[in-house]
Amino acid sequence: MPEGDSIHRLASRLRPRLVGGRVRSLEAHDIANAVAKTVVGREVVAVEARGKNLLVRFDDGRALHVHLRMLGRLGFERPRSAFWKPRTTSHQLRLDVGGAVVVGDRIPVLRLLRVGAEERAPDLRSLGPDLLATEVDVKECVARLRALGNRPIGEALLLQRALAGIGNIYKSETLFVTKVNPSAPVSTLDDATLETLVVRASELLRQNLGDGPRVTRPGLAGPRFWVYGRQGRVCLRCGGAVEMMRQGAPPGRSTYHCRGCQTLPSQ
């Protein structure tokens, strides 16, 4: 699943080619043709990322909402030429804005939000603070985490209603660099620890907004991640073994960690 940094990077790529342009056409399997046609001629006024959600805003107050989840793909259509043939002639989404064509497939959430609908949509209204916002409300994030009580912190960090933008990679990496055990109940962690988790997660996400592969470790040598995807390999900090466990409702989400570095509060 794309994490918050991926969606913000996607918004940054779309923004200069879409904002200020007018819609030539909109075709989407999930949007009725009659409704899609009402967007033609509208100006794109903003392309925003909110956590893992992408919003293309039009000058009439409506917005195209996209959430890619696990398998969704979105990008610019490549120019046709004698040397390149498209894999498919039909996409789930095709948005032409002034000649810049955005196409997407396998998108689980794709809808055109009416004016005012964004504030009423449960999945958007309930989002916690975006960790890539210009200013992150750390206190609000801590309060939302605290409300989760005895839920393991490894599960809590993935709940977008607490804080928006974290996925499996940043969950595992943030917990490792802060030496917090993913099984620790939120209720056993003090506010200072929760604040550190929020700030560190925001920093890790923010440092990956540029071009290039995602990296959470400093330096150029060795693995790009401390623990993510490194089950059974040597911990880069203590020399122990990196482990993987499942957290959350079956089949659960993978959490990578090191028992030696990330002890429970009672230990």
Report pLDDT for 87. 52
Among 5, 23, 31, 205, residue whose Cα is nearest residue 109: 31
- Could you tell me the CATH number of the domain that includes residue 8? 3.20.190.10
Query: Domain range holding 225?
Result: 138-257
Report pLDDT for 2. 85
Among 37, 118, 35, 110, residue whose Cα is nearest residue 74: 110
Picking from 95, 125, 155, the residue at the C-terminal end of a domain is 125
Q: Within this chain, do residues 203 and 181 fall inside the same structural domain, yes or no?
A: yes
Q: State mean pLDDT over 157-170.
A: 96
If one compares 222 and 243, the residue with the highest pLDDT of the two is 243
Q: How confident is the model at residue 74 (pLDDT cuts 50, 70, 90)?
A: very high
Count of structural domains, the chain:
2
C-alpha distances (whole Å) from 255 to each of 71, 102, 164, 198, 249 are 20, 34, 18, 17, 13
If one compares 32 and 70, the residue with the highest pLDDT of the two is 32
In a domain, 238, yes or no: yes
User: 233 pLDDT exceeds 80?
Assistant: yes
In a domain, 213, yes or no: yes
Q: State mean pLDDT over 236-257.
A: 94
Annotated active-site positions, please?
Answer: 2-3, 52, 253
In a domain, 131, yes or no: no
In a domain, 265, yes or no: no
List, in sequence order, the alpha helices (H) in 29-163: 33-36, 117-120, 122-125, 138-146, 153-156
In a domain, 130, yes or no: no
Could you tell me which residues are beta bridge partners of residue 210? none
Q: State mean pLDDT over 198-219.
A: 93
pLDDT tens digits, residue range 103-157?
Answer: 999 999 999 999 988 888 888 999 999 999 999 999 999 999 999 999 999 999 9
User: Whole-angstrom Cα distance, residue 150 to residue 204?
Assistant: 26
Helix (H) or strand (E) holding 49: strand 44-50
Picking from 66, 99, 125, the residue at the C-terminal end of a domain is 125
User: What amino acid occupies position 149?
Assistant: G
In a domain, 18, yes or no: yes
In a domain, 171, yes or no: yes
Q: Within this chain, do residues 58 and 153 fall inside the same structural domain, yes or no?
A: no
Q: Within this chain, do residues 116 and 218 fall inside the same structural domain, yes or no?
A: no
Q: State mean pLDDT over 30-49.
A: 96
Q: How confident is the model at residue 85 (pLDDT cuts 50, 70, 90)?
A: low
Sheet holding 93-97, edge to edge: 23-28, 93-97, 100-105, 73-76
User: 86 pLDDT exceeds 80?
Assistant: no
- Could you tell me the CATH number of the domain that includes residue 204? 1.10.8.50
Q: Within this chain, do residues 53 and 142 fall inside the same structural domain, yes or no?
A: no
Q: Within this chain, do residues 102 and 175 fall inside the same structural domain, yes or no?
A: no
Q: Within this chain, do residues 143 and 225 fall inside the same structural domain, yes or no?
A: yes
Q: Within this chain, do residues 109 and 145 fall inside the same structural domain, yes or no?
A: no
Stated length of the chain: 267
Picking from 125, 156, 172, the residue at the C-terminal end of a domain is 125
Q: Within this chain, do residues 173 and 234 fall inside the same structural domain, yes or no?
A: yes
pLDDT tens digits, residue range 172-189?
Answer: 999 999 999 999 999 999
User: 253 pLDDT exceeds 50?
Assistant: yes
Report pLDDT for 120. 86
Q: Within this chain, do residues 119 and 157 fall inside the same structural domain, yes or no?
A: no
CB contact set of 29 (below 8 Å; sequence gap of 6+)? 92, 93, 110
Q: Within this chain, do residues 95 and 160 fall inside the same structural domain, yes or no?
A: no
Q: Within this chain, do residues 148 and 245 fall inside the same structural domain, yes or no?
A: yes
- 8 by Cβ neighbours in 10 Å (0-12 / 13-18 / 19+) ranks as buried
Q: How confident is the model at residue 238 (pLDDT cuts 50, 70, 90)?
A: very high
Report pLDDT for 78. 79
Report pLDDT for 164. 97
Among 5, 6, 170, 139, residue whose Cα is nearest residue 72: 6
Among 6, 36, 23, residue whose Cα is nearest residue 205: 6
Counting residues of the chain whose pLDDT is more than 90, the rounded percentage is 84
- 160 by Cβ neighbours in 10 Å (0-12 / 13-18 / 19+) ranks as buried
Q: Within this chain, do residues 164 and 231 fall inside the same structural domain, yes or no?
A: yes
Report pLDDT for 225. 97
Q: How confident is the model at residue 267 (pLDDT cuts 50, 70, 90)?
A: very low
Read off the pTM.
0.91
In a domain, 165, yes or no: yes
User: 220 pLDDT exceeds 90?
Assistant: no
Counting residues of the chain whose pLDDT is more than 70, the rounded percentage is 94
